[in-house]
Amino acid sequence: MPLILRLAFRNIFRQRRRSLLTALSIGGGYILCALSLSLLDGSYNNLIELFTLSNTGHIQIHQDNYLERPKVHKTISNYEALGSILEADPEVKAYSYRIYSPALAYSDHGNQPAQVKAIDLDREKNTTLILDKIQAGQYVSSTPNADGYFEAMIGSGIADGLKIGIGDELVLISQGADGSVANDIYIVGAIIGNKDSFERNQVILPLAAGQEFLSMYGQVHEIVLVLDRFQSALAVANRLQAAFPKLTVSPWQDVEEEFYKSMQSDRQGNQSMMAIILFIVFIGVLNTVLMTVMERTREFGVLKAIGSQPHTILLLVTLETCLLATMAIIAAFIISVPGVYWFANAGFQLAEPIDIGGILFSAFKGEMSFDVFFIPAVVLMLFALVVSLPPGLRAARIAPTKAMSSH
Protein backbone atom coordinates (compact mmCIF):
# COMPACT_ATOMS: atom_id res chain seq x y z
CA MET A 1 0.00 0.00 0.00
CA PRO A 2 1.47 3.43 -0.92
CA LEU A 3 2.73 5.52 1.99
CA ILE A 4 0.27 8.35 1.38
CA LEU A 5 -2.66 5.90 1.44
CA ARG A 6 -1.50 4.42 4.76
CA LEU A 7 -1.10 7.92 6.14
CA ALA A 8 -4.62 8.86 5.00
CA PHE A 9 -6.11 5.82 6.74
CA ARG A 10 -4.11 6.56 9.91
CA ASN A 11 -5.34 10.15 10.00
CA ILE A 12 -8.96 9.07 9.51
CA PHE A 13 -8.85 6.79 12.56
CA ARG A 14 -6.73 9.20 14.59
CA GLN A 15 -9.22 12.03 14.11
CA ARG A 16 -12.14 9.86 15.23
CA ARG A 17 -14.46 12.63 16.31
CA ARG A 18 -14.08 14.73 13.15
CA SER A 19 -14.12 11.65 10.96
CA LEU A 20 -17.32 10.47 12.60
CA LEU A 21 -19.00 13.85 12.07
CA THR A 22 -17.98 13.90 8.41
CA ALA A 23 -19.13 10.29 7.91
CA LEU A 24 -22.47 11.02 9.58
CA SER A 25 -23.00 14.05 7.32
CA ILE A 26 -22.23 12.08 4.16
CA GLY A 27 -23.97 8.88 5.24
CA GLY A 28 -27.05 10.72 6.49
CA GLY A 29 -27.21 12.68 3.26
CA TYR A 30 -26.94 9.46 1.25
CA ILE A 31 -29.75 7.74 3.18
CA LEU A 32 -31.99 10.80 2.93
CA CYS A 33 -31.34 11.18 -0.80
CA ALA A 34 -31.83 7.48 -1.56
CA LEU A 35 -35.13 7.30 0.33
CA SER A 36 -36.37 10.59 -1.13
CA LEU A 37 -35.38 9.62 -4.66
CA SER A 38 -37.04 6.22 -4.27
CA LEU A 39 -40.29 7.75 -3.01
CA LEU A 40 -40.19 10.52 -5.62
CA ASP A 41 -39.58 8.23 -8.60
CA GLY A 42 -41.90 5.53 -7.33
CA SER A 43 -44.80 7.91 -6.69
CA TYR A 44 -44.49 9.52 -10.12
CA ASN A 45 -44.06 6.20 -11.89
CA ASN A 46 -47.02 4.63 -10.10
CA LEU A 47 -49.16 7.66 -10.84
CA ILE A 48 -48.21 7.69 -14.53
CA GLU A 49 -48.77 3.95 -14.81
CA LEU A 50 -52.16 4.24 -13.16
CA PHE A 51 -53.13 7.20 -15.35
CA THR A 52 -52.06 5.59 -18.64
CA LEU A 53 -53.55 2.19 -17.85
CA SER A 54 -56.77 3.87 -16.84
CA ASN A 55 -57.53 5.02 -20.37
CA THR A 56 -54.85 6.17 -22.80
CA GLY A 57 -52.40 3.26 -22.80
CA HIS A 58 -48.71 3.88 -23.45
CA ILE A 59 -48.91 4.34 -27.22
CA GLN A 60 -51.76 5.09 -29.63
CA ILE A 61 -51.87 4.57 -33.39
CA HIS A 62 -54.20 6.64 -35.59
CA GLN A 63 -54.77 7.62 -39.20
CA ASP A 64 -53.36 11.05 -40.13
CA ASN A 65 -54.01 13.72 -37.48
CA TYR A 66 -56.98 11.98 -35.83
CA LEU A 67 -55.59 12.73 -32.39
CA GLU A 68 -55.73 16.51 -32.98
CA ARG A 69 -58.83 16.61 -35.22
CA PRO A 70 -60.91 13.45 -34.80
CA LYS A 71 -63.22 12.66 -37.73
CA VAL A 72 -65.29 9.54 -38.19
CA HIS A 73 -63.81 8.88 -41.63
CA LYS A 74 -60.17 8.89 -40.44
CA THR A 75 -59.97 5.14 -39.97
CA ILE A 76 -57.43 2.31 -39.99
CA SER A 77 -58.66 -0.36 -42.36
CA ASN A 78 -55.93 -3.00 -42.05
CA TYR A 79 -55.95 -3.08 -38.25
CA GLU A 80 -55.91 -6.87 -37.93
CA ALA A 81 -52.75 -7.10 -40.03
CA LEU A 82 -51.15 -4.43 -37.85
CA GLY A 83 -52.27 -6.40 -34.80
CA SER A 84 -50.38 -9.45 -36.06
CA ILE A 85 -47.21 -7.35 -36.29
CA LEU A 86 -47.75 -5.92 -32.81
CA GLU A 87 -48.36 -9.41 -31.45
CA ALA A 88 -44.83 -10.38 -32.45
CA ASP A 89 -43.21 -7.26 -30.96
CA PRO A 90 -41.38 -8.26 -27.74
CA GLU A 91 -41.89 -4.82 -26.15
CA VAL A 92 -45.67 -4.75 -26.70
CA LYS A 93 -47.42 -6.33 -23.73
CA ALA A 94 -51.01 -5.92 -24.96
CA TYR A 95 -53.08 -3.92 -27.45
CA SER A 96 -56.69 -3.21 -28.28
CA TYR A 97 -58.84 -1.67 -31.02
CA ARG A 98 -61.22 1.25 -30.52
CA ILE A 99 -63.86 3.30 -32.33
CA TYR A 100 -65.13 6.72 -31.25
CA SER A 101 -68.09 8.87 -32.24
CA PRO A 102 -70.28 11.58 -30.70
CA ALA A 103 -73.93 10.64 -30.33
CA LEU A 104 -77.20 11.55 -28.68
CA ALA A 105 -78.32 9.14 -25.98
CA TYR A 106 -82.05 8.75 -25.27
CA SER A 107 -84.11 7.06 -22.58
CA ASP A 108 -87.70 7.37 -21.35
CA HIS A 109 -86.52 10.14 -19.04
CA GLY A 110 -84.75 12.42 -21.51
CA ASN A 111 -81.67 12.76 -23.68
CA GLN A 112 -78.13 14.07 -23.50
CA PRO A 113 -74.90 14.10 -25.54
CA ALA A 114 -72.70 11.04 -25.22
CA GLN A 115 -69.38 9.75 -26.49
CA VAL A 116 -69.67 6.34 -28.11
CA LYS A 117 -66.60 4.19 -27.58
CA ALA A 118 -66.54 0.74 -29.16
CA ILE A 119 -63.77 -1.57 -27.93
CA ASP A 120 -62.41 -5.04 -28.50
CA LEU A 121 -63.72 -6.44 -25.23
CA ASP A 122 -61.33 -9.38 -24.99
CA ARG A 123 -58.24 -7.27 -25.66
CA GLU A 124 -59.32 -4.17 -23.73
CA LYS A 125 -59.52 -5.95 -20.38
CA ASN A 126 -55.87 -6.99 -20.81
CA THR A 127 -54.82 -3.51 -21.95
CA THR A 128 -56.48 -1.12 -19.50
CA LEU A 129 -58.04 -1.22 -16.04
CA ILE A 130 -61.60 -1.23 -17.35
CA LEU A 131 -62.60 -4.25 -15.25
CA ASP A 132 -61.68 -2.37 -12.07
CA LYS A 133 -63.98 0.51 -13.01
CA ILE A 134 -67.23 -1.44 -13.12
CA GLN A 135 -69.44 -0.01 -10.37
CA ALA A 136 -72.59 -2.04 -11.13
CA GLY A 137 -73.46 -4.92 -13.43
CA GLN A 138 -70.82 -6.98 -15.18
CA TYR A 139 -68.46 -6.88 -18.13
CA VAL A 140 -70.64 -7.27 -21.22
CA SER A 141 -70.42 -9.88 -23.95
CA SER A 142 -69.18 -9.22 -27.49
CA THR A 143 -72.22 -11.01 -28.92
CA PRO A 144 -75.92 -10.00 -28.84
CA ASN A 145 -78.21 -11.35 -26.15
CA ALA A 146 -81.07 -13.79 -26.76
CA ASP A 147 -83.30 -10.95 -28.04
CA GLY A 148 -80.68 -9.80 -30.55
CA TYR A 149 -79.59 -6.67 -28.62
CA PHE A 150 -76.01 -5.78 -27.82
CA GLU A 151 -75.30 -4.79 -24.24
CA ALA A 152 -73.56 -1.50 -23.43
CA MET A 153 -71.55 -0.18 -20.51
CA ILE A 154 -72.36 3.42 -19.63
CA GLY A 155 -70.62 6.09 -17.58
CA SER A 156 -72.11 7.28 -14.34
CA GLY A 157 -72.89 10.66 -15.92
CA ILE A 158 -75.05 9.00 -18.57
CA ALA A 159 -76.74 6.79 -15.97
CA ASP A 160 -77.56 9.74 -13.71
CA GLY A 161 -78.59 12.09 -16.53
CA LEU A 162 -80.93 9.64 -18.21
CA LYS A 163 -82.02 7.97 -14.96
CA ILE A 164 -81.32 4.47 -16.25
CA GLY A 165 -79.69 1.42 -14.72
CA ILE A 166 -78.84 -2.21 -15.36
CA GLY A 167 -81.24 -3.87 -17.78
CA ASP A 168 -82.76 -0.63 -19.11
CA GLU A 169 -82.90 0.29 -22.79
CA LEU A 170 -80.67 3.00 -24.26
CA VAL A 171 -81.18 4.55 -27.70
CA LEU A 172 -78.22 6.05 -29.59
CA ILE A 173 -78.41 8.34 -32.62
CA SER A 174 -75.36 9.49 -34.57
CA GLN A 175 -73.97 9.79 -38.08
CA GLY A 176 -72.37 6.82 -39.78
CA ALA A 177 -69.04 6.89 -41.57
CA ASP A 178 -70.89 6.63 -44.91
CA GLY A 179 -73.06 9.67 -44.15
CA SER A 180 -76.13 7.67 -43.11
CA VAL A 181 -78.10 8.20 -39.90
CA ALA A 182 -76.91 5.74 -37.27
CA ASN A 183 -79.43 4.64 -34.66
CA ASP A 184 -79.91 1.56 -32.54
CA ILE A 185 -81.16 0.26 -29.19
CA TYR A 186 -78.86 -1.23 -26.55
CA ILE A 187 -79.36 -2.81 -23.14
CA VAL A 188 -77.42 -1.39 -20.19
CA GLY A 189 -75.18 -4.18 -18.90
CA ALA A 190 -72.84 -2.23 -16.59
CA ILE A 191 -72.15 1.21 -15.14
CA ILE A 192 -68.53 2.36 -15.38
CA GLY A 193 -66.55 4.73 -13.15
CA ASN A 194 -67.88 7.79 -11.33
CA LYS A 195 -68.48 11.47 -11.98
CA ASP A 196 -64.72 12.16 -12.17
CA SER A 197 -63.67 9.28 -14.43
CA PHE A 198 -62.84 9.41 -18.13
CA GLU A 199 -65.90 7.31 -18.90
CA ARG A 200 -68.49 9.48 -17.14
CA ASN A 201 -70.18 10.50 -20.44
CA GLN A 202 -69.27 7.46 -22.48
CA VAL A 203 -71.33 4.63 -23.88
CA ILE A 204 -69.00 1.66 -24.32
CA LEU A 205 -70.04 -0.90 -26.95
CA PRO A 206 -68.50 -4.13 -28.20
CA LEU A 207 -66.33 -3.48 -31.27
CA ALA A 208 -68.66 -5.38 -33.62
CA ALA A 209 -71.65 -3.37 -32.34
CA GLY A 210 -69.80 -0.09 -32.87
CA GLN A 211 -68.75 -1.05 -36.40
CA GLU A 212 -72.31 -1.98 -37.25
CA PHE A 213 -73.73 1.18 -35.63
CA LEU A 214 -71.39 3.54 -37.52
CA SER A 215 -71.16 1.50 -40.76
CA MET A 216 -67.43 1.04 -40.17
CA TYR A 217 -67.09 -2.64 -41.02
CA GLY A 218 -63.45 -3.72 -40.94
CA GLN A 219 -62.26 -0.33 -39.69
CA VAL A 220 -61.19 1.26 -36.39
CA HIS A 221 -60.09 4.71 -35.29
CA GLU A 222 -57.42 3.76 -32.81
CA ILE A 223 -55.04 1.02 -31.75
CA VAL A 224 -53.92 1.42 -28.14
CA LEU A 225 -50.78 -0.32 -26.89
CA VAL A 226 -49.43 -1.15 -23.44
CA LEU A 227 -45.71 -1.86 -23.01
CA ASP A 228 -43.75 -3.69 -20.35
CA ARG A 229 -42.30 -0.31 -19.29
CA PHE A 230 -44.00 3.01 -19.92
CA GLN A 231 -40.56 4.68 -19.84
CA SER A 232 -39.79 3.12 -23.23
CA ALA A 233 -42.88 4.62 -24.90
CA LEU A 234 -40.96 7.28 -26.85
CA ALA A 235 -38.38 4.86 -28.23
CA VAL A 236 -40.97 2.23 -29.17
CA ALA A 237 -43.24 4.89 -30.72
CA ASN A 238 -40.38 6.14 -32.89
CA ARG A 239 -39.58 2.60 -33.98
CA LEU A 240 -43.20 1.82 -34.82
CA GLN A 241 -43.55 5.13 -36.65
CA ALA A 242 -40.71 4.07 -38.95
CA ALA A 243 -42.41 0.70 -39.45
CA PHE A 244 -45.86 2.28 -40.15
CA PRO A 245 -45.03 5.50 -42.06
CA LYS A 246 -48.60 5.99 -43.33
CA LEU A 247 -50.01 6.07 -39.79
CA THR A 248 -49.41 8.37 -36.81
CA VAL A 249 -47.85 6.70 -33.78
CA SER A 250 -48.11 8.79 -30.58
CA PRO A 251 -46.58 8.01 -27.16
CA TRP A 252 -48.57 8.84 -24.05
CA GLN A 253 -46.50 12.02 -23.62
CA ASP A 254 -48.17 13.39 -26.78
CA VAL A 255 -51.61 11.89 -26.16
CA GLU A 256 -51.80 13.45 -22.69
CA GLU A 257 -49.48 16.39 -23.21
CA GLU A 258 -50.95 18.58 -20.44
CA PHE A 259 -50.70 15.78 -17.89
CA TYR A 260 -47.11 15.08 -18.95
CA LYS A 261 -46.13 18.77 -18.66
CA SER A 262 -47.73 19.10 -15.23
CA MET A 263 -45.89 15.99 -14.03
CA GLN A 264 -42.58 17.31 -15.35
CA SER A 265 -43.15 20.67 -13.67
CA ASP A 266 -43.98 19.03 -10.36
CA ARG A 267 -40.97 16.71 -10.66
CA GLN A 268 -38.66 19.69 -11.24
CA GLY A 269 -40.04 21.34 -8.11
CA ASN A 270 -39.24 18.25 -6.06
CA GLN A 271 -35.80 18.01 -7.63
CA SER A 272 -35.16 21.56 -6.43
CA MET A 273 -35.94 20.39 -2.89
CA MET A 274 -33.46 17.54 -3.36
CA ALA A 275 -30.84 20.07 -4.47
CA ILE A 276 -31.41 22.09 -1.29
CA ILE A 277 -30.95 18.95 0.83
CA LEU A 278 -27.69 18.15 -0.98
CA PHE A 279 -26.48 21.73 -0.56
CA ILE A 280 -27.02 21.48 3.21
CA VAL A 281 -25.01 18.24 3.22
CA PHE A 282 -22.33 19.99 1.15
CA ILE A 283 -22.00 22.85 3.66
CA GLY A 284 -21.92 20.43 6.60
CA VAL A 285 -19.13 18.32 5.11
CA LEU A 286 -17.15 21.41 4.02
CA ASN A 287 -17.32 22.86 7.55
CA THR A 288 -16.23 19.57 9.14
CA VAL A 289 -13.29 19.07 6.75
CA LEU A 290 -12.19 22.69 7.12
CA MET A 291 -12.21 22.44 10.92
CA THR A 292 -10.19 19.21 10.72
CA VAL A 293 -7.55 20.92 8.58
CA MET A 294 -7.36 23.92 10.92
CA GLU A 295 -6.85 21.63 13.92
CA ARG A 296 -3.97 19.93 12.08
CA THR A 297 -2.15 23.12 11.07
CA ARG A 298 1.02 22.22 13.00
CA GLU A 299 1.04 18.75 11.49
CA PHE A 300 0.96 20.15 7.97
CA GLY A 301 3.67 22.62 8.91
CA VAL A 302 5.91 19.74 10.04
CA LEU A 303 5.23 17.87 6.80
CA LYS A 304 6.25 20.89 4.74
CA ALA A 305 9.32 21.49 6.95
CA ILE A 306 10.61 17.97 6.24
CA GLY A 307 10.22 18.45 2.51
CA SER A 308 6.65 17.47 1.58
CA GLN A 309 5.48 19.18 -1.58
CA PRO A 310 2.24 21.27 -1.59
CA HIS A 311 0.58 18.90 -4.09
CA THR A 312 1.32 15.96 -1.71
CA ILE A 313 -0.46 17.68 1.16
CA LEU A 314 -3.40 18.57 -1.13
CA LEU A 315 -3.57 14.95 -2.26
CA LEU A 316 -3.46 13.74 1.35
CA VAL A 317 -6.42 15.91 2.42
CA THR A 318 -8.41 14.98 -0.69
CA LEU A 319 -7.64 11.29 -0.28
CA GLU A 320 -8.69 11.31 3.38
CA THR A 321 -12.02 12.95 2.55
CA CYS A 322 -12.74 10.63 -0.41
CA LEU A 323 -11.83 7.50 1.58
CA LEU A 324 -14.05 8.63 4.44
CA ALA A 325 -16.88 9.37 1.98
CA THR A 326 -16.50 5.93 0.40
CA MET A 327 -16.73 4.16 3.75
CA ALA A 328 -19.71 6.32 4.78
CA ILE A 329 -21.55 5.65 1.49
CA ILE A 330 -20.97 1.89 1.74
CA ALA A 331 -22.33 1.85 5.29
CA ALA A 332 -25.26 4.09 4.32
CA PHE A 333 -26.04 1.87 1.32
CA ILE A 334 -26.31 -1.18 3.58
CA ILE A 335 -28.59 0.74 5.95
CA SER A 336 -30.79 2.25 3.20
CA VAL A 337 -31.52 -0.98 1.27
CA PRO A 338 -34.15 -2.26 3.76
CA GLY A 339 -35.80 1.17 3.85
CA VAL A 340 -35.98 1.47 0.07
CA TYR A 341 -37.27 -2.11 -0.16
CA TRP A 342 -40.04 -1.28 2.31
CA PHE A 343 -40.94 1.87 0.35
CA ALA A 344 -41.11 -0.11 -2.90
CA ASN A 345 -43.35 -2.86 -1.52
CA ALA A 346 -45.46 -1.22 1.19
CA GLY A 347 -45.10 2.55 1.01
CA PHE A 348 -47.25 5.10 2.78
CA GLN A 349 -50.97 4.40 2.88
CA LEU A 350 -53.02 7.54 2.29
CA ALA A 351 -55.65 8.41 4.87
CA GLU A 352 -58.03 9.31 2.03
CA PRO A 353 -57.47 7.53 -1.33
CA ILE A 354 -57.16 9.78 -4.38
CA ASP A 355 -59.55 9.04 -7.24
CA ILE A 356 -57.81 9.09 -10.63
CA GLY A 357 -60.13 8.42 -13.52
CA GLY A 358 -62.31 6.14 -11.47
CA ILE A 359 -59.34 4.21 -10.02
CA LEU A 360 -58.36 4.75 -6.38
CA PHE A 361 -54.73 5.72 -5.71
CA SER A 362 -54.33 4.63 -2.10
CA ALA A 363 -50.59 4.53 -1.39
CA PHE A 364 -47.36 6.33 -2.17
CA LYS A 365 -44.85 3.64 -3.03
CA GLY A 366 -41.18 3.96 -3.79
CA GLU A 367 -39.04 2.39 -6.46
CA MET A 368 -36.08 0.09 -5.95
CA SER A 369 -33.71 0.62 -8.86
CA PHE A 370 -30.03 1.04 -9.64
CA ASP A 371 -30.39 4.82 -10.03
CA VAL A 372 -31.89 5.22 -6.55
CA PHE A 373 -28.62 4.01 -5.00
CA PHE A 374 -26.13 5.06 -7.69
CA ILE A 375 -27.07 8.72 -8.21
CA PRO A 376 -26.70 9.78 -4.53
CA ALA A 377 -23.39 7.89 -4.32
CA VAL A 378 -21.95 9.68 -7.37
CA VAL A 379 -23.22 13.11 -6.27
CA LEU A 380 -21.89 12.75 -2.72
CA MET A 381 -18.51 11.47 -3.92
CA LEU A 382 -18.25 14.53 -6.16
CA PHE A 383 -19.24 16.69 -3.21
CA ALA A 384 -16.52 15.06 -1.08
CA LEU A 385 -13.95 15.74 -3.78
CA VAL A 386 -15.02 19.36 -4.21
CA VAL A 387 -15.26 20.19 -0.49
CA SER A 388 -11.79 18.75 0.13
CA LEU A 389 -10.16 21.17 -2.30
CA PRO A 390 -10.45 24.50 -0.37
CA PRO A 391 -9.13 23.04 2.93
CA GLY A 392 -6.49 21.08 1.02
CA LEU A 393 -5.29 24.19 -0.81
CA ARG A 394 -5.16 26.07 2.48
CA ALA A 395 -3.04 23.34 4.04
CA ALA A 396 -0.77 23.15 0.98
CA ARG A 397 -0.08 26.90 0.94
CA ILE A 398 0.59 27.38 4.65
CA ALA A 399 4.09 28.59 5.61
CA PRO A 400 5.97 26.02 7.79
CA THR A 401 7.20 28.60 10.35
CA LYS A 402 3.74 30.08 10.81
CA ALA A 403 2.11 26.63 11.01
CA MET A 404 4.54 25.27 13.58
CA SER A 405 4.08 28.33 15.82
CA SER A 406 0.28 27.92 15.90
CA HIS A 407 -1.57 26.26 18.81
With contact defined as beta carbons under 8 Å apart, do 220 and 77 qualify?
Answer: no
Residue 213: what pLDDT?
Answer: 93
More confident call, 147 vs 269: 147
The pTM score is: 0.77
Q: Give the integer Cα–Cα distance in Å for 261 and 101.
A: 28
Averaged over 98-120, what is the pLDDT? 93
Q: Is 168 a residue whose pLDDT tops 80?
A: yes
Position 318 confidence tier, pLDDT thresholds 50, 70, 90? confident
Residue 1: what pLDDT?
Answer: 46
More confident call, 161 vs 318: 161
Q: Give the integer Cα–Cα distance in Å for 238 and 253.
A: 13
Averaged over 301-322, what is the pLDDT? 73
Burial of 79 (0-12, 13-18, 19+ CB in 10 A): buried
Averaged over 154-171, what is the pLDDT? 92
First to last CA, the chain: 32
Segments of 202-327 assigned E as strands: 202-206, 222-227, 247-251
Residue 147: what pLDDT?
Answer: 86
Residue 21: what pLDDT?
Answer: 74
84-90-94-97 Cα dihedral, nearest 10 degrees: -30
Listing DSSP states for 190-205 in one string gives EEES-TTSTTTTEEEE
Q: Give the integer Cα–Cα distance in Å for 101 and 94.
A: 24
The contacts of residue 293 (CB under 8 Å, 6+ apart) are 300, 317, 391, 392, 394, 395
Look over the chain and give the mean of its residue pLDDT values, rounded to a whole number. Answer: 84
Write the pLDDT tens digit of every residue in 244-292.
999 999 999 999 888 888 877 877 777 777 788 778 777 777 777 677 6
Q: Is 381 a residue whose pLDDT tops 60?
A: yes
The contacts of residue 163 (CB under 8 Å, 6+ apart) are 107, 109, 110
Q: Which region among 14-28, 37-51, 108-122, 186-200 has the lowest average model confidence (pLDDT)? A: 14-28
Burial of 142 (0-12, 13-18, 19+ CB in 10 A): middle
Burial of 133 (0-12, 13-18, 19+ CB in 10 A): buried
Q: Which region among 51-55, 159-163, 191-195, 287-291 has the lowest average model confidence (pLDDT)? A: 287-291
- Point out which residues pair with 360 in neighbouring strands: 355
Q: What are the domain boundaries of the chain?
A: 3-52+260-404, 71-220
Residue 113: what pLDDT?
Answer: 93
With contact defined as beta carbons under 8 Å apart, do 281 and 24 qualify?
Answer: no
Looking at the chain, the whole-number percentage of residues with pLDDT higher than 70 is 85
Residue 63: what pLDDT?
Answer: 93
Looking at the chain, the whole-number percentage of residues with pLDDT higher than 90 is 37
What is the 3 state secondary structure string of 22-70? HHHHHHHHHHHHHHHHHHHHHHHHHHHHHHHHHHHCCEEEEECCCCCCC
Q: Which region among 29-33, 364-368, 370-374, 380-384 has the lowest average model confidence (pLDDT)? A: 364-368
